[in-house]
Chains A and B, each alone.
Chain A
Amino acid sequence: MNLHEYQARDILRRQGIPVPPGEVATTAAEARAIALRLGGGRVVVKAQVHAGGRGKAGGVKLAANADEAAAHAAKILGMTIKGLPVRKVLVAPAADIASESYVGIIVDRTSQRPVLMVSAAGGIDIEEVAAKTPEKIHRLAVDPRYGLLAHQALGLALKLYRDMAQARAAADIMQRLYAAFYAVGASLAEINPLVTTRDGAVAALDAKIVIDDNELDRHPEIAALRDTSAEAPSEVTAREAGLTFIKLDGNVGCCVNGAGLAMATMDLVKYYGGEPANFLDIGGSSNPQKVVSALQIITADASVRAILFNIFGGITRCDDVANGIVQATRSLPLKLPLVIRLTGTNEELGVQILKQAGFSALTDMDEAVKQAVAQVKAA
């Protein structure tokens, strides 16, 4: 789960990391009031949206005064960035910046440890730094049993600052960031940029935290930060129904059990000349209601021209999926061609249920995908 910048800043602030002031506005009038509370001087107005490249999309603007802040907020609050609507802006004082660095933590899959990454080349996309000048990024794998030790943090901080007071301040921030990483169950926590101001202070200007979805049950206070208004509506519906759904640009709707098979099905649609409309994994459970929800989500996408079911029964039982298809099409008659592939656990039962309801089923994956692609081309 992605957090907004303002939420990430709150978490860092509670962890004792120096974060400049700033508040969230949902209207231009609120943005003006915040700018005035901040002294009426120069502020930055930043879109709070779960998409990278906000700045390039025009979602970050500098304002000379409160009126300008209101005008920028009015414009940004109506924007859509990478398909996601902007409903909140952060209004913060424009900092007087002397230097910008990067500090981030991820879990590294190869060393299987949390890894701290720092770079003096901050303020820009770290992926770009990693691609073009990898030598500018310093990494340290942390032993999770002992945490980030003081001398390790100072060693990294000295890669960023020559001034010992600043290095000590940065090292303290890194240890607190590491503590926050475990405390909230993050999969990514970054400060970009970590700045020094003209008076020499070190502070976290912008923060990004991504929470491991698997941690949400044990951190209800973090789960409560979810902003469903900032997510694609179809993905919110899918999550609430216990499905994993990702919308793509094609027109063959896919409903599959298992993530790997779902990806392989999308790939096969492409292989036979079609374009998948979505990734959808109905999971391993045997629950006809999930199939009903899946069909509702797929058919809500106006670009879908045919629907393809690819079910390899293991834990998932073919008769349950068949019952789900029959139930769903009864309550919500389908106008689209439906191609069903069913094999595995309780296959005969599933095929029989479908037959009685007037559907046919295939057992071969390639054959089913070819037919679905052909249906789209004929439509």
Chain B
Amino acid sequence: MSIFIDQRTRLVVQGITGRDGSFHTRQMIGYGTKVVAGMTPGKGGQLFDGVVPVFDTVGDAVRETQANTAVIYVPAAVAASAIFEAADAGILLIVCITEGIPVLDMTRVLPYLHERGARLIGPNCPGLISPDKSKVGIIPGNICRPGRVGVVSRSGTLTYEIVHQLSTQGLGQSTCVGIGGDPLIGTNFIHCLSAFQADGETDAVVMIGEIGGTDEQQAADFVQQAMTKPVVGFIAGQTAPPGRRMGHAGAIISGSSGTAAEKMAAFARAGIAVMKRPADVVPLLKERL
């Protein structure tokens, strides 16, 4: 098993001929992901690297290749439009890597997806990887190892740091999901925790949050009520000042809410083992496995 992606994932890459899209498509193919189609308007009929057929629309790509998952590498100005198009083509798992999408665009995109039953991961996320099965996005494959720990995170490189600690100390991963650093995202902690709880190949979950919003607090309630698997949690931004956006659009303490202290306390109340620093992840997991 694993969650959201595996060997059955058939991927269409939106923006396959762009700088980031082409680089990461090669990385994904190299990792073993089934990249069945690319999409760039005006480049339909071409073959990417001589192997992946490129289409003008996602609809064409789905009809011709039975793609079931889309990944988006297009510029922020047209990213919302790319998500709408993927949903309209019947894609049920859409992963948006693009950073910088206006939040008001997302207020229109999200209801559209809900109506069609499509899941969005991101935007502004590194994507996800089920080690040795499939990778969709930009998480470096070489730091991951197959195994039984699920990882869900709002961050990119901090996730790599923690996954690296897991892999080098013998704890492989079932799936690592980067849910994104924006205030409005398609898939939140609870969606991932619930999928990991149901996944027969996941024994424990690492949850990496940060300041801003109340997603982690709600996730803590969910863990307390609905999870039997052990969860280890980290919150970045203990030293962040209030009122300042710490890089990620969603990482901002508003007034006195959304602080790291508040989130860590919610974790502790829910029985989640709280990491004080990234290096605590392996010892805390080993105590609980």
Contact = CB atoms under 8 A, between A and B. Distances in A.
B210 A263 contact: yes
A260 B241 contact: no
B107 A263 contact: no
A107 B184 contact: yes
Contacts of A248: 239, 241
B102 A185 contact: yes
A212 interface: yes
A246 B253 CA distance: 14
B248 interface: yes
Contacts, number: 166
Contacts of B279: 365-366
Contact of A344 (B102, B143, B234, B276): B143
B285 interface: no
A131 interface: yes
A260 B210 contact: yes
Interface residues of A, number: 55
Given A214-B76, A244-B247, A281-B247, A258 B156 contact: yes
Q: Taking each of A107, A212, A258, which has the highest tally of chain B beta carbons within 10 Å of its own beta carbon?
A: A258
Interface string A91-119: 00000000000000001011011100000
B240 A260 contact: no
Contacts of B143: 344
A312 B159 CA distance: 10
Contact of A267 (B108, B236, B256): B236
B157 A215 contact: no
Contact of B240 (A212, A266, A313, A366): A266
Given A112-B106, A212-B103, A248-B241, A268 B277 contact: yes
A214 B184 contact: no
A315 interface: yes
Interface of B: 20, 76-77, 100-104, 106-108, 110-111, 126, 138-140, 143, 153-161, 164, 181, 183-184, 208, 210-211, 213-215, 218, 234, 236-241, 243-244, 246-251, 255-256, 260, 276-279
13 contacts: A109-B214, A109-B215, A127-B255, A145-B108, A246-B244, A259-B247, A260-B210, A261-B236, A279-B240, A312-B157, A312-B160, A314-B160, A316-B157
- Give the 3 A-B CB pairs with smallest separation, nearest first: A260-B155, A259-B247, A258-B157
